Amino acid sequence: MAEHETIVAALRTALALLDGDATSRRQQQQPAALKAALALDAERRTNGHRATTNGTGTGPKAKGKPEGYGAVHAKAARRARTLKVLQEFDRVTPRPFEDFKQRGGGPLVAHGYLAKRKGGYVRTAKEFRP
């Protein structure tokens, strides 16, 4: 029985050596880019950065709005254009809205500034403040 225990111990030692050799070989075969990415990820985690913003593992989303979109002058210009579009509509007579999608008709209907009627769209009583 002692003879079998020594053989089992020798086999366990050989297995551990082979496993360690395989691990070191695998690490040597990793491309440099992967090593750099792993190092960068480890650095980000230690600096307190979150890996994702939305919890899906896709990373932070790029901003969809152009630069200066929220600036006061840009907002005023957009609201002036919206007011101009709304002034084309009457409160009683429906009017077709030919370029509905291009001129932002959907949000105007959704927010209650225009209402769809049989012959097109009419202006609602909701006040628009530019």
pLDDT of 127: 92
The pLDDT tens digits for 27-55 are 666 677 677 777 887 777 776 655 555 55
Domain chopping of the chain, boundaries: 2-46, 72-123
**Rounded CA separation 32/19 (Å):** 23
**Structure confidence at residue 112 (pLDDT):** 93
Q: What is the pLDDT of residue 53?
A: 54
User: Which pTM does this prediction carry?
Assistant: 0.47
pLDDT of residue 80: 92
Average pLDDT, the chain: 77
Residue ranges of the chain whose pLDDT lies below 70: 19-30, 33, 47-66, 101
Rounded to whole angstroms, how far apart are CA atoms 124 and 115?
Answer: 6
